[in-house]
Amino acid sequence: MTRRWLRTSAATLLLFAAIVFGSHDALAQKQYLVVNIVPGEKYEPVFEQVRDLARRDSSGRLELGIGAIFSYLHQSRVQCTADVIEFLSLSGRYGIPIVVQLDGEQWWEARPDLWNWWDPGRPGFDPANRMNVEWSGWGSEYAMKIAWRNWGRQIRVLPPPNFMSQAYRAACHAEMRALIPLILRWWENLPEGKKSLLIGIKLGWESAIGVNSFYLPGGNALLDLPEEEDPQVKLQGERIPDRGVAAIGYAAVMTAQMADSGILQEAHLAEITRWHLEDLCALARNLGVPREKLFTHVGGWKDEELLYDAAFNSHSCPGWSFYRHAGDPAKDLGVQRVLGRSDAPYWAAAEWLLEGRNTPEAWHSALQRSLSDPTCRYVCIYNWSGIRDDPAAVEAIQRILHDRSEPSTK
């Protein structure tokens, strides 16, 4: 109770300071309800749809915004830069606040020079690249050629990066050094009254090891077989470190010199993920991103697992995914544990979705609870394409925007 009171008091002081001293980010307690664009979807139609949904006075305490993901190792720098510029431009044109997510974890198809250690017939081949991908055992002979992901259905993906690989980290840093100054220049050149269009920059995408890119036992042997013959599995989130499949993370743990034998530990994987995000956030801060504009994004699949702590560092504001606890984030004990010691000005429900067939009342109640902590800067619904034709979700969004609008002065 004391920690919650202190956090609420801190938010009140931020609001008072903003009013008295005229902070350019006007009302420090402003919150945002963000809808995420699926990668590959055209941006402008979404801006048009969100504009039509949010036709109201923009002085409200809750604003509707848009998030987009830019996977900078998935495409050329030229294309990624062009996409970011388009997204920023549309925000300014439509007056809709945005979250810019920079991803170097989930998709890295454009960098075979980092991951292709096994196929001399493909670009980028170099046997030394086995040091840049994850392993399923203590040694490079266990380097992965393939991984699997289930975001609604199971698919094959590339082996995940070794978060501790120097070559991988250098590649992420190089792309961030190209993109972050671009975002900051756009933000700094906005008129004073539009500075709040940049809600924040998000780093990480449910950052973890062995979940969104998991490994089936003996997985490399399946690479040359038809994909339809792959075993279909359901991850068991409560089982750490293997999640019910084959444990991975050995490459990062060995590279970081945490261990080189024995049983892979939950603490090892959580610390690697924490260090990975802290490194990216430190770079972003050095490039000029204020802490209140910088967010991490971590998942959590077991109640109170150590991974929750990886979202927190001194450079940024922590963010997590909410599915099981979308109806009431206060029940997520892992999140609450971290918030209890966080000195960050804000936190975020960086990925959020109320699953199942729900009524407008259920959606509205869940959104209210998720935004009940004034230090929750934004809730990002994944994804707009999945809810825009859902009358219950749309009605609830309109209703909560109306509920949170500023009282009329007339």
Give 253-289 pLDDT, tens digit per residue: 999 999 999 999 999 999 999 999 999 999 999 999 9
Residue 233 has pLDDT above 70, yes or no: yes
Helices (H), 215-318: 250-255, 266-286
Which of 63, 65, 94 has the alpha carbon at shortest distance from 405?
Answer: 63
Beta strands in 46-174 (DSSP E): 62-71, 98-103, 147-150, 154-157
Comparing 3 with 82, the larger pLDDT belongs to: 82
Predicted pLDDT of residue 29: 77
What percentage of the chain carries pLDDT values higher than 70? 90
Predicted pLDDT of residue 56: 53
Q: How buried is residue 40: exposed, middle or buried, by Cβ count under 10 Å (0-12/13-18/19+)?
A: exposed
Predicted pLDDT of residue 239: 96
Predicted pLDDT of residue 245: 97
Residue 214 has pLDDT above 60, yes or no: yes
If residue 392 lies in a helix (H) or strand (E), which one and from where to where? helix 391-403
Residue 167 has pLDDT above 50, yes or no: yes
Q: What is the mean pLDDT of residues 136-153?
A: 97
pTM score? 0.91
What percentage of the chain carries pLDDT values higher than 90? 88
Confidence of residue 8 (pLDDT cuts 50, 70, 90): very low
User: What is the separation of C-alpha 395 from the centre of its chain, rounded to a whole number of angstroms?
Assistant: 26
Q: Is residue 277 within 8 Å of 209, Cβ to Cβ?
A: no
Predicted pLDDT of residue 403: 84
Confidence of residue 11 (pLDDT cuts 50, 70, 90): very low
Q: How many helical (H) and strand (E) elements, i.e. helices and strands, does the chain have?
A: 11, 10
Residue 147 has pLDDT above 60, yes or no: yes
Residue 209 has pLDDT above 50, yes or no: yes
Predicted pLDDT of residue 21: 36
Predicted pLDDT of residue 82: 98
Break the chain into its structural domains and give their ranges: 2-8+27-126+162-214+267-403
Predicted pLDDT of residue 1: 36
Q: How buried is residue 210: exposed, middle or buried, by Cβ count under 10 Å (0-12/13-18/19+)?
A: buried
Predicted pLDDT of residue 402: 87
Q: What is the mean pLDDT of residues 197-201?
A: 98
Give 45-95 pLDDT, tens digit per residue: 999 999 999 875 445 789 999 999 999 999 999 999 999 999 999 999 999
Q: Which of 10-19, 66-75, 240-249, 335-344 has the weakest average pLDDT?
A: 10-19
d(CA 254, CA 105): 19
Return the C-alpha torsion angle 210, 265, 218, 260, nearest 10. Answer: 120
Predicted pLDDT of residue 197: 98
d(CA 164, CA 395): 45
Give 342-401 pLDDT, tens digit per residue: 999 999 999 999 998 889 999 999 999 999 999 999 999 999 999 999 999 999 999 999
2-8+27-126+162-214+267-403: CATH topology: TIM Barrel (3.20.20)
Confidence of residue 28 (pLDDT cuts 50, 70, 90): low
Average pLDDT, the chain: 92
Which of 141, 42, 120, 125 has the alpha carbon at shortest distance from 87?
Answer: 42
